[in-house]
Amino acid sequence: MPVETRPAIRPLDHLALTGRDLDPALLLRDRVLTYQDLRSRIALLAGWLGHVVPEPGARVASWVAKGELACLMPLAAARAGLVHVPVNPLLKRAQVAHILADSGAALLLGSPARLATLEPDDITPRCRVVAEADALALTEALNRPLGPSAADPGDLAAILYTSGSTGRPKGVMLSHANMALGAESVATYLGLAREDRTLAVLPLSFDYGQNQLLSTWHAGGAVAPLDYLTPRDVVKAIARHDITTLAAVPPLWVQLAELDWPAEVAARLRRLTNSGGALTEGLVRRLRALFPQARIFAMYGLTEAFRSTFLDPALIDSHPTSMGKAIPHAEILVMAEANRVAADGEEGELVHCGPLVAQGYWQDAERTAERFRPAPAQSAHGGTAVWSGDRVRRDADGLLYFVGRRDAMIKSAGNRISPQEIEEAALATGLVAEAVALGLPDERLGQAVHLVVRAAPGISGMEEELPRKLMAELPNFMQPKAIHWRSEMPIGPNGKLDRTGLAAELAG
């Protein structure tokens, strides 16, 4: 497909200037910040940050509750010429200590309860620690507002650390341009407007979660941040704030679809967006039944390029499992062996080109070289591309379909098996609500298929029925060696099902 002309790019901190002065911008638990308030609060916080950390490009980390400070930090740090390092509140001290040391953070803003979990050696000598309430008070006391920046769009604005359940997180470097264009792109294809209100339930340390703020503010809408304890809290917040837009990942959609929704609350939602995993046909049908007025946006993304594709909501019924096509500002190629573009229906690697491509991994040249490589010769955009490692196929209409991650494919008795195919078969039986297929070491097969499932509500006798149905739907080489039943599935720090943790548990 042709690549658009190069878009105009402003520094990231200019995004919050699009709303009208008295329009609501941030719907907090105890008060509402208008766009006039938002501009003022960003300027004051940027002034304090620049005063405390005067070194341009220094890293400032935040490990705070999802309130005012967490929402202001992406734009205030960018305005101050600093690099924001948001830390997922669900991470434990060892991972947080790694992030602080790896990023070389000069400042850590944190909630007292989280800071209390850190050991003295977890914080480097050059890192100043300030409690979030103190930071806001000091900002007011200094009262030194900082005007809009003149940053270069290519300057580093944030480092987002991926948060796997094992191993050390790696930091993805995002520029002003990456984040500003990501906000513009999403606001455009979602059709966000001034009257929209977004419920921000995803972690703001997550690229998808952070974009809830930036894309809504780019459109002049309002954001209600929510740290929820149960899915029922989401329903209550939608009613309280008159929410129109909800972004979530599949595990949360599954839980929300199991609730009894008041019709008047469900009718308020105009837009549902999904990323972080594929929607199943059954889940799409349930969401369509629960929210008939809402458009459902199925999306695919990776932190290294933010977002790659979205499916036109008009196609969700006819193509419920498709990833769709490239979002604005992205060029997507499906590359087969021998550096050629895959034919229609042929499996290949998804390669993302264009200005949304991140700047690589912080202080990790080796892994950067593996994932960030020159774009294929067939790319109209050129430059550096993200070679995703994800296997996809494209149909004759140009719609993309996810096959599986290259490093997650199960290799059993010489067969290459997509975990997603087994999971979809299990979910299609109607006996289970969630499913994870894994390949575990096996002396005879190399890897044996193990399936971890949570039963669908109100279903009985599934322990015997599920194997029978899978035997009828899947070939012999895809049959699970063992099915493991769970009353609830483990969720990782990014809100997705914790595949790595399950594999480690079963392997042990």
pLDDT in tens, 184-215: 999 999 999 999 999 999 999 989 999 999 99
Contact of 311 with 288, CB cutoff 8 Å: no
Q: Residue 4: what pLDDT?
A: 52
Higher pLDDT pick, 218 / 421: 218
Grade residue 473 by pLDDT with cuts at 50, 70 and 90. Answer: confident
pLDDT(479) > 80 = yes
For residues 456-480, give the mean pLDDT.
89
**CA 351 to chain centroid:** 18
Q: Residue 165: what pLDDT?
A: 38
Grade residue 493 by pLDDT with cuts at 50, 70 and 90. Answer: confident
CA distances from 297 to 211, 311, 327, 331, 369 (A): 15, 6, 12, 19, 32
- Sign of the dihedral defined by the CA atoms of residues 52, 56, 61, 64, in that order: positive
Query: If you ran DSSP here, which 8-state letter would residue 478 be given?
Result: G
CATH T-level assignment (fold) for domain 408-507: GMP Synthetase; Chain A, domain 3 (3.30.300)
In this prediction the pTM is: 0.85
Higher pLDDT pick, 94 / 440: 440
Higher pLDDT pick, 164 / 21: 21
Q: Residue 1: what pLDDT?
A: 43
Q: What angle do CA 335, 341, 344 make, to 5 degrees?
A: 100
**How many whole angstroms separate alpha carbon 299 and alpha carbon 310?**
4
Q: Is 428 exposed, middle or buried (0-12, 13-18, 19+ CB in 10 A)?
A: middle
**How many whole angstroms separate alpha carbon 401 and alpha carbon 411?**
21
- The residue count of the chain comes to 508
**How many whole angstroms separate alpha carbon 30 and alpha carbon 133?**
15
Contact of 73 with 87, CB cutoff 8 Å: no
Could you tell me whether strands 171-175 and 197-200 are parallel, antiparallel, or unpaired per DSSP bridges?
A: unpaired
Contact of 291 with 266, CB cutoff 8 Å: yes
Q: Residue 199: what pLDDT?
A: 98
Lowest mean pLDDT among 21-25, 99-103, 277-281, 424-428: 277-281
CA distances from 381 to 24, 319, 353, 354, 385 (A): 38, 28, 7, 6, 9
**How many whole angstroms separate alpha carbon 147 and alpha carbon 274?**
36
Grade residue 413 by pLDDT with cuts at 50, 70 and 90. Answer: confident
pLDDT(163) > 70 = no
pLDDT(5) > 60 = no
**How many whole angstroms separate alpha carbon 98 and alpha carbon 414?**
39
Tokens 């105890």 — which residue? 30
Q: Residue 43: what pLDDT?
A: 97
Q: How many CB atoms lie within 10 A of CB 258?
A: 13
Q: Which residues of 151-166 are buried (b: 16+ CB within 10 A; e: fewer)?
A: bebebbbbbbbbbbbe
For 149, residues 6+ apart whose C-beta sits below 8 A from its C-beta are 11, 13, 14, 78, 79, 80, 81
Query: If you ran DSSP here, which 8-state letter would residue 376 be given?
Result: P
**How many whole angstroms separate alpha carbon 14 and alpha carbon 415?**
52
For residues 492-503, give the mean pLDDT.
87
Between the two ends of the chain, the Cα-to-Cα distance in Å is 47
Q: Residue 6: what pLDDT?
A: 57
Output Rg (C-alpha) for the chain, integer angstroms.
Answer: 23
Q: Is 101 exposed, middle or buried (0-12, 13-18, 19+ CB in 10 A)?
A: middle
CA distances from 262 to 103, 223, 506 (A): 46, 22, 40
Contact of 209 with 301, CB cutoff 8 Å: no
For residues 32-50, give the mean pLDDT.
97
Closest CA to 132 of 86, 81, 83, 79: 86
Arithmetic mean of pLDDT over the chain: 92
For 4, residues 6+ apart whose C-beta sits below 8 A from its C-beta are 328, 329
Grade residue 508 by pLDDT with cuts at 50, 70 and 90. Answer: confident
Q: Residue 2: what pLDDT?
A: 45
Contact of 225 with 251, CB cutoff 8 Å: no
User: Does residue 170 sit in helix, strand or coil?
Assistant: coil
For 5, residues 6+ apart whose C-beta sits below 8 A from its C-beta are none
Q: Which amino acid is at 367?
A: R
CA distances from 451 to 261, 278, 429, 469, 505 (A): 31, 18, 14, 14, 13
